[in-house]
Amino acid sequence: MTMTDPIADYLTRVRNSLAAGKDRCDVPASRIKLELSKILQEEGFIRSFKVVDEGPQRTLRVYLRYSSEGEPAIHGLERVSRPGRRVYRAVDDLPKVRGGIGVAVVSTSKGLMTDARARELRLGGEVMCRVW
């Protein structure tokens, strides 16, 4: 079965796993999902991730992060640019998520990065998603 928006599928699987209180989430692996997971780990939203080579297709296993009280580290996960409506922003128009508490993931000519990093490098691009 072909999927029209694999990034939205990734975000939905993570969101559903957090709502169910799971400690990990498995998604079909791809380069962009690996980069997105790397950003989420660097920003402290997930504990870690790894690629599992079981079965016919590689799987990305994402280990979710919770506080000591059981509160998830991710409170919101939202897809911004979709296949039906692409959202591109210049460097001066990049969004600040929740006043800087969250991050926007931006696809630039130098790869996937956070909105803060894109501002440092003076790069605009496609706003993939927002996390807070």
Would you state the pLDDT for residue 1? 55
Task: Give residue-wise pLDDT tens across range 80-104.
Answer: 999 999 999 999 999 999 988 999 9
Give the model's confidence band at 70: pLDDT under 50 very low, under 70 low, under 90 confident, else very high: very high
Residue 72 pLDDT:
96
User: Which CATH number applies to 77-131?
Assistant: 3.30.1490.10
Indicate where the chain has its CATH 3.30.1370.30 domain(s).
6-64
Q: What is the pTM of this model?
A: 0.92
Q: CB of 11 within 8 A of CB of 76? A: no
Domain 6-64 architecture = 2-Layer Sandwich (3.30)
The model's pLDDT over 41-64, given as tens digits with 9 standing for 90+, comes to: 999 999 999 999 987 899 999 999
